[in-house]
Structure 1
Amino acid sequence: MLTNQQALDEARRQKQALQTIGGWRRLLFVLTACFVALAAWGFTTGVPAAGIAGAVLGVIGMVLTLLVHLSIVRGEKNVEAILASLEPGTSHKG
């Protein structure tokens, strides 16, 4: 069982990690947009190799962006649970 101070420290560390992961999510989103633009350019200008590569990389980027977003959502719920366990009147069952 964590002490209140340990739980607060853990929540703070997790919040910092979530901010870092949020930066990764933004980067992945921008890269995905670039890949989709590459796919559109490739298919409209008659360069199918660029279109196919952009489309494949765009799909991979979207999946990775979704996974990172879901990890952020779950991490935020975890931080909320840690902080809620510190409130008086809540049970400390693990």
Structure 2
Amino acid sequence: MSEEETLLVFPCEFPIKAMGKADVELDLLVIDIVRRHTDSLTEDRISTRPSKNGTYVSITVTVTATSKPQLDAIYQDLSGHPHILMVI
């Protein structure tokens, strides 16, 4: 498989989960970053879940992905932000 090949068929629904400390408004940060890459993000496609002790929070955003480069750009922007500890 070359770098541009993927097993995904576009467009497709694709969940992206970002995790970080709960002491920042991580949900707003994640939403802002994802909206730079897609215009189809609505509130019903966003879910937030705190960790057991409330120290961390995960935000899952389901996007309608149109291409592998689009997904790569979202992951790169999320991963590059200092408040976001992990993206899966």
Question: What is the TM-score of this pair, normalised by structure 2?
Answer: 0.29
Flag the structure with higher strand content: 2
Greater relative contact order, per chain length (Cα 8 Å cut-off, separation 6+): 2
Report which of the two structures shows the higher radius of gyration computed on alpha carbons.
1
Question: What is the TM-score of this pair, normalised by structure 1?
Answer: 0.27
Flag the structure with higher helix content: 1
